Structure formats: C-alpha cells, structure tokens
Chain A
Amino acid sequence: MTTSTLQHVRFAGMTSCVPKRIVSNLTDCRPQIRSERQRLVRNIGIETRRMAPKWQCFSDLAFEATEKLLESLDWKREEVDAIIVMTQSPDYLIPATAIILQDRLGLSNATIAFDVNLGCSAYPFGLHLLGCMIAAGGVKKGLLLVGDRSATLDDPIFSDAGTATALEFSENAAPMYFDLNSDGSGHKAIILPVGGHREPVDIQHLIPFRKDENDHWRTGIDLQLDGPAVLSFSTQRVPPAVEKLLTYACASKEDIDYFIFHQANRMINETIRKKLGLPVEKVPSTLQEFGNTSGASLPVTMTVRINKALEAAPKRLLLSGFGIGLSWGTALVDIDGAIFPDLIES
C-alpha cells in the first residue's frame, strides 16, 4: 500500500497490563556470567523485565487490560462491534484467541473477532486494520489487543505484556496517517522455524543442545534471531519511513509531541533517535524497566511514560513499529480527550 489517511477514526483510550514478576538481567543469571551481563545491560539498556508465570497467557494480560478499558470508557459490552487480537502468543494454534476473548469478555455474538499473526511491528498495522473497518462505517466501536508472552530467564531482552486500545467512529476526529511496509525476503531474521506446517514438531527438535558449559540449553522449538540482520533492517528502514510519513502528513518533527518507537534494544533505538535528530525528551522509553515487550511496547511506553500528559491535553504522536517478517509501520495519530489508566500489574 502507499501512504494513506483514515478519516473519522477517534482514538478513545488505552490500557496496558504486565505480569507482576520482575526479572533482573544483572542478578537473575548464572554467577559465572554476571560480569559480562553488566556489559550486556549497558549496551542493550534493559535492566529488568516482566515475566509471566507458566499458567499466565498473553490473553490473560489482554483480558485484564480490556476489562479495565471497557470499565473506564463506560462502554457497554454489546456496543463493541469488533475485537482484533494481534499476537504471536495465541492460546491455541486453533481457534483464534480473539473469539475466545469475545466470549470471556461477554461481548455479543454480533462481534467481529479474529487474530492477526504479527509481533514487534504490530501496533501501527493494528490501528490501520481496525481503523479501516471503522472508517468504512460498519464498525462504530472496536478493540485492538496487542502483545506477546515471550520472556524467558535466558534471553535478556524479551518481556511480557498485554494491551488494549479502543477506537471509535467520530465525524470530527482528526485524520490518522499511515505508512505500512513488508519485506518477506528477510523472514529468516526472526523466526520460529519449527511447529508450523512447513516443519511440524518431531522428536529431534526436542533434544537440548548448547555450545559450551556457560551457554544455556536450547532446542529446535526456540525462536531464532539474527541480531545483525535485525539491527541493520531497523536502523536502515525506520528513519526514512518516519521522514516519509511526516512529509505526507505535512508535519514537521517540531509538530510532533512524542515519537513512540517499538522498544527493541538501546543499540537500535538510540541509533534511530540519533539518525532522526530527535531530542531525548520527545522519545520516551521503557527499555530499562520493561525491556522489549514486542508489539505491546508502543502501548506500554504510552501507558507508563506519558499517560498523564496524553490525558491532560491534545497531543500529536508519531508511532513506529518494526521487526518480524520483516515489516515496519508508521502512524501519525492525534490524541484528544482519550483515557489512559495507569499500568495494571497482574
């Protein structure tokens, strides 16, 4: 798609929920690697993360966020026309988590409900997808639930969260602008290669292996990440995409109150910020405390860092998600009179 505009879509509110359990990158690791962890933490910028217990799914976090959101908005259950779940941590491969949540949340059978398989880049894509349904006139009130459950003790970057965003039809809403892109040639950069139909799980995938005694055990069913490829993709693709959307929307960087980027890691995020020449105050970050919450990292950053500012007065935001696929999306959104309850810890 080319850069696009959506009319009559109002951002009504947002909530974010994280697990209570805090994991420290500096101390929750093997004693032998504590020294090198200091260097790692300095460079990726992540000191603590949130990790769900074994029984807690992304959908549980999203459920808590949505309950709070509906209550805060004073929306009736039957008023919700659509619920879209964007996650790579579904309850089951089949059926969609969104339909299970439709029932669990007590939404009516007239609710449109489906899942979208998208991770770190998800948020701008989700706003556009739900926004299109609303702009077209068929959906008056909709919910977008974004997040993942991918934290482990061994990987120092990922963190868990579930978020809920409410959009609604409004004749007077300011336009939303979008620029959304995909590059499947890079799909192997972030991949869980085993478990789908291309390569079903078999016994050999479950045999643990490690490179040396200080490494942690891995299996074939683990996520694989090509660090250099993701770094180059993010730092080469994101800055020009931001510039492009600003030009399209006839906005300057000075017109934007906050730039909210996917919270990847400090190396990536600082490179992007510097390339765009953005002041630190305009680029809030939750990396240090919450790490990389995948698609949820934009909502989590808005909830944790600027929710009071967003409630207090109208604000213009530039939102940027990037990663899995590879895909990258940028959105320019005006927030006016929306609600932003404090972070929920569950």
Chain B
Amino acid sequence: MSHQQFIDNFLSATDFQEPVEVTMDTVLADLPEWDSLAALATIVMFDMEYSKTITGEDLHKIRTLNELYELAGSPA
C-alpha cells in the first residue's frame, strides 16, 4: 500500500473536524484533534483494513505516522 493510501485511510478514520496536512513524518501528538476518539478510530482502522489488533498501549508508544505505518506491518 502506498504511503498516500495509508494517509488517506488514517484521515478518513479519524474524521478530523478541521482539514489538516499530514505526511509520514507528522507527529501524532502535534495534530490538534489527536484525541481518544481518533485513537479509537485508528484501532478500528487497523482491525478492519489491516486485520491487525492494536491496543491503546501500542498507540501510546507511537510518535509519527510512519511508526504507525510500520505498526501496521508496512502493508503491501
């Protein structure tokens, strides 16, 4: 899967109220609306799109979108 597709999936899942520019180097904590709802949506995205079960603990350790991508197993 391309980085752009992953970013699109992420933005679709997290459903941020305000449009935001995201790259693979984006720090999640710097996103204004990275909150518990976004974390839950990301967990669902991993489950449904990548058949991967992640925890709140996993997300807590992630800093950037690229690390999130790697957590998904850098999906093909």
Q: Report the nearest B residue to A35, measured CB to CB.
A: B17
Given the contacts A39-B16, A226-B56, A236-B53, A231 and B44 also touching, CB distance less than 8 Å: yes
Q: Which 6 pairs from chain A and chain B are nearest by CB?
A: A228-B56, A39-B17, A231-B40, A227-B40, A271-B44, A227-B36
Number of B residues, CB within 8 Å of A: 17
B11 within 8 A of A: no
Chain A residues within 8 Å of B33, by CB: 36, 39
What is the predominant secondary structure among interface residues of chain B facing chain A?
helix
A227 touches B47 (CB 8 A): no
Chain B residues within 8 Å of A232, by CB: 43, 47, 53, 55
A267 and B37 CA atoms in complex are apart in Å by 10
A42 within 8 A of B: yes
B41 within 8 A of A: yes
What is the predominant secondary structure among interface residues of chain A facing chain B?
helix
B8 within 8 A of A: no
* Chain B interfacial positions (CB closer than 8 Å to A): 15-17, 33, 36-37, 39-41, 43-44, 47-48, 53, 55-56, 59
A183 and B36 CA atoms in complex are apart in Å by 24
A345 and B28 CA atoms in complex are apart in Å by 45
- The residues in A between 274 and 311 inclusive whose CB is less than 8 angstroms from any CB of B are 274-275
- The residues in A between 222 and 268 inclusive whose CB is less than 8 angstroms from any CB of B are 226-229, 231-232, 235-236, 267
B48 touches A228 (CB 8 A): no
A38 touches B17 (CB 8 A): yes
Q: Which of B15, B16, B43 contacts A228 (CB 8 A)?
A: B43
A228 touches B37 (CB 8 A): no
* Chain A interfacial positions (CB closer than 8 Å to B): 35-36, 38-40, 42-44, 226-229, 231-232, 235-236, 267, 271, 274-275
A40 touches B48 (CB 8 A): no
B41 touches A228 (CB 8 A): no
A229 and B59 CA atoms in complex are apart in Å by 12
Chain B residues within 8 Å of A227, by CB: 36, 39-40, 56
A42 touches B15 (CB 8 A): yes
A146 and B56 CA atoms in complex are apart in Å by 31
A267 touches B41 (CB 8 A): yes
- Taking A39-B16, A39-B17 as given, write out 10 further A-B residue pairs in contact, using a Cβ cutoff of 8 Å, ordered by the A residue number: A42-B15, A227-B36, A227-B40, A227-B56, A228-B56, A232-B53, A235-B47, A236-B47, A271-B44, A271-B47
Q: Which of B37, B48, B56 contacts A229 (CB 8 A)?
A: B56
A36 and B48 CA atoms in complex are apart in Å by 25
A228 touches B44 (CB 8 A): no
